[in-house]
């Protein structure tokens, strides 16, 4: 997955980066938490708002938040092979748009 950690790194550097691997796992953990809380909108919003606020403390660039969803889709699509559909892609895309919107809102206010 792309992040501010990966700027200027070669593909091999990206594969070997412990920091980037840890970030990817945190992204997956956030996705899992969002999906587990989907029946409680307030919990999802609170989780993502807090995450966005933490990213401000990390000096993360707001523009990078929009890159995570497409990179996530790019990474998981090949693992699904023929099971991948436009509906599945749209669902993942919509989830990451929601995640990005809430996090960016917290980062810019």
Please indicate, yes or no, if residue 88 is contained in any of the structural domains. yes
Give the total number of structural domains in the chain: 1
Q: pTM (2 decimals)?
A: 0.81
More confidently predicted of 6 and 76: 76
Q: Which of 79, 69, 59 is nearest to 99 (CA)?
A: 69
What pLDDT does residue 3 have?
A: 46
CATH of the domain at 13: 1.10.490.10
Model pLDDT for residues 12-68, shown as the tens digit of each residue: 777 788 888 898 899 999 999 999 999 999 999 999 999 999 999 999 999 999 999
Task: Give the position of tokens 């917290």.
Answer: 106
Asked if residue 1 belongs to a domain, the reply is: no
Q: How far apart are CA 3 and CA 83, in angstroms?
A: 28
Domain that holds residue 95: 6-108
Mean pLDDT confidence for 58-86: 93
Q: Which residue is it, tokens 């436009």? A: 86
Predicted pLDDT of residue 17: 83
pLDDT at position 68, please?
92
């Amino acid at each position: 997955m792309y992040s501010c950690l990966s700027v200027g790194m070669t593909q091999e550097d990206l594969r070997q980066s412990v920091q980037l691997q840890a970030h990817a796992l945190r992204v997956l953990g956030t996705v899992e938490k969002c999906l587990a809380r989907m029946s409680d909108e307030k919990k999802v919003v609170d989780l993502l708002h807090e995450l966005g606020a933490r990213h401000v403390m990390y000096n993360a660039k707001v523009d990078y938040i929009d890159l995570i969803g497409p990179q996530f889709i790019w990474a998981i699509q090949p693992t699904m092979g023929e099971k991948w559909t436009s509906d599945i892609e749209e669902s993942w895309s919509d989830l990451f748009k929601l995640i990005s919107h809430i996090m960016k809102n917290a980062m810019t206010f």
